[in-house]
Structure 1
Amino acid sequence: MLTRLKTKLKCRRGESYVDVIVLVLCAVLVLALAVKVLPVFIAKQQLDTFATELVREAEISGRVGSETTRRTDVLRERTGLDPDITWSESGRIQLNSEVTVTLTLQTNIGLFGDFGSFPITLRAQATGKSEVYWK
């Protein structure tokens, strides 16, 4: 009787099932993390593009005003982002004068809804030179 019990305890046929379950659980957790974190990287890329296009509009028009405001509205609609925008200059910008735009956007990152969620601030900055000569 004792020898049969020892042989049954030595049998490890079901051990691989536990390993597979742990491996699948880890894979699902990594996938859930990727689903929550990757949109933040996409938002950062869109914010960089947003800043570049805004400063290009200021370069072409030679001023920060109605043209850049219209471009901001178009970009907000297209990207779905609503960043805070700060310009280094306002009004007319003389030929070869630098203008810088800084965009900041607060977004949440975390898993499982509000559990483990925390806010992060994304920043994008672009600099350009005016291409317009004002008399």
Structure 2
Amino acid sequence: MLKRIGMLWKDRRGEGYVDVIVLVLCAVLVIALAVRVLPVYIAKHRLDTFATELVREAEVTGNIGAETDRRAAVLKEKTGIDPEIAWSAEGRIQLNEEVTVTLTLHQEIGLFGNFGSFPILLRSQAAGKSEVYWK
């Protein structure tokens, strides 16, 4: 009887099930991490595009004001993000004068809802030169 219990104790046939369970658990955690982190990369890309298009509007119009505000409203609707916008200049921009826009956006990143979640600050900057000559 003791010999039979010893043989059962040394039997390793169920070991594969434990390996599969651990592997599946690790895969689920990696997928959960990707689902929470990937949207931050997408938001950063949208923020970069937002800044580039906004500074292009300022270059073409040669003015920071109503035109750039309208373009920002359209971009907010298209991209679904609402960043804080800071310009290096105001009003009319003379030909070849440089203008810079800085956008900041706060995002939450973390795994299990509010547990282990922390805010990060995404920042994007774009620069350009005016293409309009003001008399």
The bucket for the TM-score relative to the shorter chain is over 0.9
Q: Root-mean-square deviation (CA), in Å?
A: 0.6
Q: Deviation string for 1:19-58 (max 9, x for gaps)? A: 1000000000000000000000000000000000000000
Alpha-carbon deviation of 1:59?
0.1
Partner of 1:84: 84
Structure-1 separation of matches of 2:42 and 2:110: 15
Partner of 1:75: 75
Q: Deviation string for 1:64-117 (max 9, x for gaps)? A: 011100000000011111100000000000000000000000010011110100
Alpha-carbon deviation of 1:6?
1.5
Q: Does 1:28 align with 2:24?
A: no
After the TM superposition, which parts of structure 1 deviate over 2 Å for at least 4 consecutive aligned residues? none
Alpha-carbon deviation of 1:3?
1.7
Structure-2 separation of matches of 1:2 and 1:69: 84
Alignment of 1:1-135 (within 5 A): 1-135=1-135
Whichever residue aligns with residue 99 of structure 1, its letter is V
Unaligned runs of at least 5 residues, structure 1: none
Whichever residue aligns with residue 9 of structure 1, its letter is W
Structure-2 separation of matches of 1:66 and 1:5: 85
Structure-1 separation of matches of 2:9 and 2:113: 44
Aligned residues: percent identity?
73
Whichever residue aligns with residue 93 of structure 2, its letter is I
Unaligned runs of at least 5 residues, structure 2: none
Structure-2 separation of matches of 1:122 and 1:98: 23
Structure-2 separation of matches of 1:81 and 1:2: 70
